[in-house]
Chain A
Amino acid sequence: MAFIFLNVLSFFYYNVPSRTPVEDGATEYKWPSYSFHSQATEGLGFGRVNNDGYNNSTDFTKDSNIDVLLMGSSHFEGFNVLKDENVAAVLNRICDKTVYNIAISEHTMLRCISNLEDALKKYKPNEYVVIETMTVSFYDAEIENALNRENRLPTYSGMIMDVLQNMKYLKLVYHQYDNLKASSPKESKALNNEALINELLEKAKITCEEYGVKMIIVFHPTLTYDNDNNVHALYNTKDERILREFCEEKGIVFVNMEQEFIDCYKSSSKLPHGFSNTTPGNGHLNSTGHRLIAEKIKEVMGAQEK
């Protein structure tokens, strides 16, 4: 009885749908159609995904006319904010293009580029594909996996897994266990083999040219500030420079949100990451972060069209 009650509570407190396989390869998994999600452990968000299994307000059909395809991880997916606050929803409001979001948890920039061809084949965006990243530093092994499409994210199927995945309280407990493991100190990353990332970006460039779209990579670093109110973003500047230069060579637009984030902090003391139930400045993009990125993407697209 208590377990049932806790499952009901978890349904509203922390409810992540179960991962289902994706045949078209645009992402490595997706959520079941129209499944309900809720998130109150970090930020506050709830709603249903669309028929396609992604966090969009509109359904996807074969006739959907998409101008801008968003790809990325849980940051762009926006489960931590209300449905009308994520990047895709804001962009759909402020620009006259149709934006479609297939960002989904754990899809790093590397995975997105690895899946890029399948994503463009399915969604056929007319103008842009935007990929989000919170880091500019990657292990060699990660880049190699992306190049070879190896070490794909697991999906869950089968009766027992289905039952377990639908026990929301167990998922919450597993989420707690995951966080506990993650709280141990990690080795910091750095880009060792520049040739690898160059090769991956070259592959992305060729794919985009083939499908006639422009690629935009949006990098949104975490801000840190000290007691004298000096604020800067946390990242490896050498890796950022390498990534930016490779992107410029290949005609990929690389956007570093650092200055926009700092300007926002200085003018309104608002930070782009973090929520009232976690820590300011850390974690996923909040509504401020989503809005700033959407505005920047609009600006960049406008500049491209001039």
Chain B
Amino acid sequence: MIFNSIGFIIFFCVVLLLVFAFSKSKVSCKKTNLLLLIASLFLYATFDYRCLAILVALIVYTYLLGLKVQSEKKYLTIGVMLDLFLLGFFKYFNFFIDSFGRLFGVGTAGSISIILPIGISFYVFKSVSYLYDVYKNRIEPEKDFVSFSLYISFFPEIVAGPISRAGNLLGQIKRDREITLNNLAEGVQVFVFGLFKKIVIADNISVFVNEVYRVPNAYSSLTIALCVLAYSVEIYMDFSGYSDMAVGCSKMIGFDIEKNFNLPYISKNATEFWKRWHITLSSWLMDYVYIPLGGNRKGKQRQYFNLLLTMALGGLWHGANWTYVLWGIANGIALIVHKMYRDRFGKKKENAISIIGTFIFVSFTWILFRADSFGNALDVLIGLFSFRSGVDFISSWAVIGTVITFIYTVVAYNKNDKNAFYPIFNLNSIWGLFLFFVFVGLTVGLAYTGSNPFIYAAF
């Protein structure tokens, strides 16, 4: 059950009613957590009941190792190795077999049929960060199994993040939480805002983008250029829309989880972009890959290598395809170039040209991210720069989506000090209620009604 499904809406309404009833009846937060845990595991099982066993296994071994990890480093090593094994086997086994086979010309006889558990990349990262934070004494090991299980399997986050840190989410899990009308009002609006971004803008644009990427050689350069721009909008709306839905759901049941996107396309350089795009992933990579590798503490050359490796791994995390790795490397190179530039010329006042330049660079790298293969990416790039004629397709939704994103970005930039905001109406007023229901109505009426999963759910 993904967020934008009727099944999920029904499921969430039931959970919300029960949580609300528990809250009003002053039921202990332990019992409420147990309810949320059952709901989370149930939701996960609806994707594929076989994957539930994998999630439960991870919860159990991470919990047990977490109790011991402060005493000996070997428990951290075992935990991380188990996590990487799970991720490596389910997500990358066939990828490495295929790559090895192609490199040495030995075919792909070793590849096997493996299910990819949904959200595995996200909950494995939560497990790693928990064990590491306990090892480093940043947090105490969680003794309550239900609380810990809920932290790993928390249903608003399980499919596609955000990757919450134990210090933040576990703290909220163990606290008494009140369901207030204010939380409900705000949460539902944030949810609808995210839903609009996903099912109206992202999904409608995806029809155009998917078609152009399917047969790029059929399309004119103008169409391909629009497609490249449109995909930048699509992936932003899709992923930030999902994150907003996760924030909204969490808010309604009494949790505040991290925002994952903060106007990434106003970034003036690659460094800033990675502080505004998929914030929980980039901070995870910094804290658990880049800094343990040495960060910037071992000289410039080592710093650049660490950046490149971290971003390459970040690319690989997104999917079992060399295009993702190359996408990560391209971003790593951009980060290195920015650091070199800053070291040489100092922190200069960057301007609109920096924003446009960074956006263009990011849009180009999205070509690698979206393409099925290097050949596909090359076809798109050649199509873009060959100024050729072909099928001209100026997608209305690509234009509409771009304009809406631009307007929202400009408003947020000016009204909210260059930070993203949620348009929250005052539901106590007639005008606020009117606007909210019009927004819900538009979301339903304009939604794309073909099949379109979340982009990041595939990771």
Verify B218–A225 contact, CB threshold 8 A.
yes
A66 at the interface (CB under 8 A from B): no
Which residues from B are CB-within-8-Å of A5? 434, 438
- Can you name the residue of chain B whose Cβ is closest to the Cβ of A14? B445
Verify B450–A2 contact, CB threshold 8 A.
no
Verify A179–B218 contact, CB threshold 8 A.
no
- A2-B441, A279-B211 given as contacts; is B449 within 8 A of A269 (CB)? no
Taking the nearest CB of chain B, how far is it from the CB of A293, in angstroms? Answer: 20
- A3-B437, A6-B438 given as contacts; is B396 within 8 A of A276 (CB)? yes
Which residues from B are CB-within-8-Å of A176? 444-445, 447, 449
Verify A276–B449 contact, CB threshold 8 A.
no
B379 at the interface (CB under 8 A from A): yes
Verify B396–A183 contact, CB threshold 8 A.
no
Which residues from B are CB-within-8-Å of A208? none
- A2-B437, A269-B390 given as contacts; is B445 within 8 A of A227 (CB)? no
Which residues from B are CB-within-8-Å of A227? 214-218, 379
- Can you name the residue of chain B whose Cβ is closest to the Cβ of A182? B449
A219 at the interface (CB under 8 A from B): no
Taking the nearest CB of chain B, how far is it from the CB of A61, in angstroms? Answer: 39
B137 at the interface (CB under 8 A from A): no
- In-complex Cβ contact of B217 among A6, A14, A173, A229 (8 A): A229
B77 at the interface (CB under 8 A from A): no
Verify B395–A276 contact, CB threshold 8 A.
yes
- A176-B449, A227-B218, A279-B208 given as contacts; is B438 within 8 A of A269 (CB)? no
A254 at the interface (CB under 8 A from B): no
* Complex interface residues of chain A between 226 and 269 (CB less than 8 A to chain B): 226-229, 265, 269
Verify A1–B220 contact, CB threshold 8 A.
no
Verify A225–B215 contact, CB threshold 8 A.
yes
A160 at the interface (CB under 8 A from B): no
- A2-B441, A6-B442 given as contacts; is B450 within 8 A of A269 (CB)? no
Verify A172–B215 contact, CB threshold 8 A.
no
- In-complex Cβ contact of A228 among B217, B391, B442, B444 (8 A): B217
Which residues from A are CB-within-8-Å of B48? none
- Can you name the residue of chain B whose Cβ is closest to the Cβ of A40? B396
Which residues from A are CB-within-8-Å of B436? 2
Verify B434–A179 contact, CB threshold 8 A.
no
- A271-B391, A280-B211 given as contacts; is B444 within 8 A of A173 (CB)? yes
B351 at the interface (CB under 8 A from A): no
Taking the nearest CB of chain A, how far is it from the CB of B63, in angstroms? Answer: 41
Write the B205-230 contact mask toward A (1 if CB under 8 angstroms, else 0). 00110010011111010000000000
Verify A269–B441 contact, CB threshold 8 A.
no
From DSSP, what is the main secondary structure of chain B's interface residues? Answer: helix
A148 at the interface (CB under 8 A from B): no
- Can you name the residue of chain B whose Cβ is closest to the Cβ of A265? B391
- A5-B438, A6-B441 given as contacts; is B207 within 8 A of A279 (CB)? yes
Verify B445–A179 contact, CB threshold 8 A.
no
- Can you name the residue of chain B whose Cβ is closest to the Cβ of A183? B450
- Can you name the residue of chain A whose Cβ is closest to the Cβ of B439? A2
Expressed in whole angstroms, the Cα–Cα distance for A279 and B441 within the complex equals 24
Which residues from A are CB-within-8-Å of B113? none
Which residues from A are CB-within-8-Å of B447? 176
A278 at the interface (CB under 8 A from B): yes
Verify B449–A180 contact, CB threshold 8 A.
yes
Verify B445–A169 contact, CB threshold 8 A.
yes
Central interface residue in B217, B218, B395, by most chain A CB within 10 Å? B218
A151 at the interface (CB under 8 A from B): no
- In-complex Cβ contact of A278 among B207, B391, B433 (8 A): B207
- A173-B444, A225-B215, A227-B216 given as contacts; is B451 within 8 A of A183 (CB)? yes
- In-complex Cβ contact of B441 among A169, A180, A271 (8 A): A169
Expressed in whole angstroms, the Cα–Cα distance for A227 and B377 within the complex equals 13
- Can you name the residue of chain B whose Cβ is closest to the Cβ of A226? B215
Expressed in whole angstroms, the Cα–Cα distance for A169 and B394 within the complex equals 27
- In-complex Cβ contact of B393 among A169, A173, A280 (8 A): A280
Expressed in whole angstroms, the Cα–Cα distance for A229 and B217 within the complex equals 7
- Can you name the residue of chain B whose Cβ is closest to the Cβ of A179? B449
Verify A277–B216 contact, CB threshold 8 A.
no
- A6-B441, A225-B215, A227-B217 given as contacts; is B391 within 8 A of A269 (CB)? yes
A38 at the interface (CB under 8 A from B): no
Central interface residue in B216, B438, B445, by most chain A CB within 10 Å? B445
Verify B445–A6 contact, CB threshold 8 A.
yes
A73 at the interface (CB under 8 A from B): no
Expressed in whole angstroms, the Cα–Cα distance for A293 and B450 within the complex equals 29
Verify A2–B434 contact, CB threshold 8 A.
yes
B397 at the interface (CB under 8 A from A): yes
A13 at the interface (CB under 8 A from B): yes
Expressed in whole angstroms, the Cα–Cα distance for A179 and B450 within the complex equals 7
A55 at the interface (CB under 8 A from B): no
B46 at the interface (CB under 8 A from A): no
Verify B449–A3 contact, CB threshold 8 A.
no
Taking the nearest CB of chain B, how far is it from the CB of A285, in angstroms? Answer: 16
- Can you name the residue of chain B whose Cβ is closest to the Cβ of A275? B396
- In-complex Cβ contact of B434 among A1, A177, A281 (8 A): A1
- Can you name the residue of chain B whose Cβ is closest to the Cβ of A225? B218
Taking the nearest CB of chain A, how far is it from the CB of B439, in angstroms? Answer: 9
Which residues from B are CB-within-8-Å of A228? 217
Taking the nearest CB of chain B, how far is it from the CB of A43, in angstroms? Answer: 10
Verify B393–A276 contact, CB threshold 8 A.
yes
Which residues from B are CB-within-8-Å of A27? none
* Complex interface residues of chain A between 198 and 227 (CB less than 8 A to chain B): 225-227
Which residues from A are CB-within-8-Å of B391? 265, 269-271, 280
- A6-B442, A176-B445, A179-B450 given as contacts; is B394 within 8 A of A276 (CB)? yes
Write the B169-201 contact mask toward A (1 if CB under 8 angstroms, else 0). 000000000000000000000000000000000
B389 at the interface (CB under 8 A from A): yes
Which residues from A are CB-within-8-Å of B430? 1
- Can you name the residue of chain B whose Cβ is closest to the Cβ of A276? B396
* Complex interface residues of chain A between 157 and 196 (CB less than 8 A to chain B): 169, 172-173, 176-177, 179-180, 183
A39 at the interface (CB under 8 A from B): no
Beyond known contacts A5-B434, A5-B438, A176-B449: 7 more, CB 8 A cutoff: A2-B438, A6-B441, A13-B445, A183-B449, A227-B217, A271-B391, A277-B397
Listed A/B pairs (5) with beta-carbon separation below 8 Å:
A6-B438, A6-B441, A226-B218, A269-B392, A279-B208
Residues of chain A touching chain B, judged by Cβ–Cβ distance below 8 Å, are 1-3, 5-6, 9-10, 13-14, 169, 172-173, 176-177, 179-180, 183, 225-229, 265, 269-271, 276-281
Closest 4 CB pairs of A and B: A2-B437, A179-B449, A6-B441, A277-B396
